[in-house]
A and B are shown apart, each in its own frame.
Chain A
Amino acid sequence: MLRTLMRRKLRTLLTVLGITVGIWALMVMGAMANKLTALVDGGSSYFDNKIVVTDATNPAFGFGNVPMPVEVVERVGRIPDIAVAAARVSFLLDPDNTGSGFSAPDFVIGFRAGFDQGYETFRSELAQGRYTTLEDEGRRVVLLGADLARKFDAGPGDAFSIHGEEFEVIGVLEPLLMFFDTTAIIPWTAAQELLVQNEALEFEGGTDIPVLTSMVIAYPEPGADFRAIMRDIGEALPQTRTVTGEDFDDQFGSTIAIFNAIILSVALISIVVGGLSVINTMTMSVAERTREIGIKRAIGASRGLIMRELVLEAGLMGFIGGLVGLGLAALVVYSANDAGKTSGTVLFLLTPWIGTLGVAFSTLLGAVAGALPAWNAARLDPVEALRYG
Chain B
Amino acid sequence: MAFLEAHNLHKTYRLTRSNHVRAMRGVDVTVEAGEMVGIMGPSGCGKSTLMHILGLLHAPDLDAAPPPSLAIDGLDVTTLTDRKRTQMRAERMGFVFQAFNLVSTLTTVENVALPAEYAGRRRRDALAAALEALRLVGLEDWAEHRPMELSGGQQQRAAIARALVTQPDLLLADEPTGNLDSENTAEVMALLHWFNRERGQTIVLVTHDTRVSEACSRVLTMQDGVIINGRQTEVA
**Using a CB–CB distance below 8 Å, which chain A residues touch chain B?**
3-4, 7, 291-292, 295-303, 305, 381-383, 386
Interface residues of B in 19-43 (CB under 8 A from A): none
A-B contact count (CB 8 A): 59
Residues in A neighbouring B87, C-beta threshold 8 A: 300, 302
B89 at the interface (CB under 8 A from A): yes
Contact pick for A298, options B82, B89, B102, CB 8 Å: B89
Contact of A296 with B91 at beta-carbon distance under 8 Å, contacts A383-B52, A383-B57, A383-B58 already known = no
Q: Evaluate contact between B118 and A298: CB separation under 8 angstroms.
A: no
Q: Evaluate contact between A298 and B95: CB separation under 8 angstroms.
A: yes
Residues in A neighbouring B55, C-beta threshold 8 A: 298
Q: Evaluate contact between B114 and A299: CB separation under 8 angstroms.
A: yes
Complex A-B, nearest 5 residue pairs according to Cβ-Cβ distance, in ascending order: A300-B90, A300-B118, A295-B101, A300-B89, A299-B115
Residues in B neighbouring A296, C-beta threshold 8 A: 103, 114, 118
Q: How far is the CA of A301 from the CA of B118 in the complex (A)?
A: 5
B154 to chain A, nearest CB (A): 17
24 sample A-B contacts, Cβ–Cβ < 8 Å, listed by A number: A4-B105, A291-B101, A295-B103, A296-B103, A296-B114, A298-B55, A298-B57, A298-B95, A298-B97, A299-B89, A299-B90, A299-B115, A300-B86, A300-B89, A300-B91, A300-B114, A300-B118, A300-B119, A301-B114, A301-B118, A302-B118, A305-B118, A382-B57, A383-B52
B86 to chain A, nearest CB (A): 5
Q: How far is the CA of A7 from the CA of B58 in the complex (A)?
A: 32
Q: How far is the CA of A298 from the CA of B88 in the complex (A)?
A: 11
B162 at the interface (CB under 8 A from A): yes
Q: How far is the CA of A30 from the CA of B105 in the complex (A)?
A: 39
Residues in B neighbouring A299, C-beta threshold 8 A: 89-90, 94-95, 114-115, 118, 162-163
Residues in B neighbouring A292, C-beta threshold 8 A: 103-104
Q: How far is the CA of A334 from the CA of B140 in the complex (A)?
A: 54
Q: Which residue of chain B has its CB nearest to the CB of A298?
A: B95
Q: How far is the CA of A113 from the CA of B57 in the complex (A)?
A: 84
Residues in B neighbouring A7, C-beta threshold 8 A: 105
Contact of A386 with B97 at beta-carbon distance under 8 Å, contacts A302-B83, A302-B86 already known = yes
Q: Evaluate contact between A303 and B86: CB separation under 8 angstroms.
A: yes
Interface residues of B in 154-194 (CB under 8 A from A): 162-163
Residues in B neighbouring A386, C-beta threshold 8 A: 97, 101
Chain B 104-121, CB within 8 Å of chain A: the 1/0 string? 110000000011001100
Q: How far is the CA of A295 from the CA of B52 in the complex (A)?
A: 13
Q: Evaluate contact between B86 and A297: CB separation under 8 angstroms.
A: yes
B72 to chain A, nearest CB (A): 15
B194 to chain A, nearest CB (A): 22
Q: Which residue of chain B has its CB nearest to the CB of A299?
A: B115
Residues in B neighbouring A305, C-beta threshold 8 A: 118
Residues in B neighbouring A300, C-beta threshold 8 A: 86-87, 89-91, 93, 114-115, 118-119
Q: How far is the CA of A189 from the CA of B83 in the complex (A)?
A: 84
B160 to chain A, nearest CB (A): 13
Q: Which residue of chain A has its CB nearest to the CB of B94?
A: A299
A365 to chain B, nearest CB (A): 25
Q: How far is the CA of A291 from the CA of B104 in the complex (A)?
A: 11
Add 15 more A-B contacts to A295-B102, A301-B118, A386-B101 (CB < 8 A).
Answer: A4-B105, A291-B101, A292-B104, A295-B97, A295-B101, A295-B103, A299-B94, A299-B115, A300-B86, A300-B91, A302-B86, A302-B118, A303-B86, A383-B57, A386-B97
A39 to chain B, nearest CB (A): 51
Q: How far is the CA of A49 from the CA of B147 in the complex (A)?
A: 74
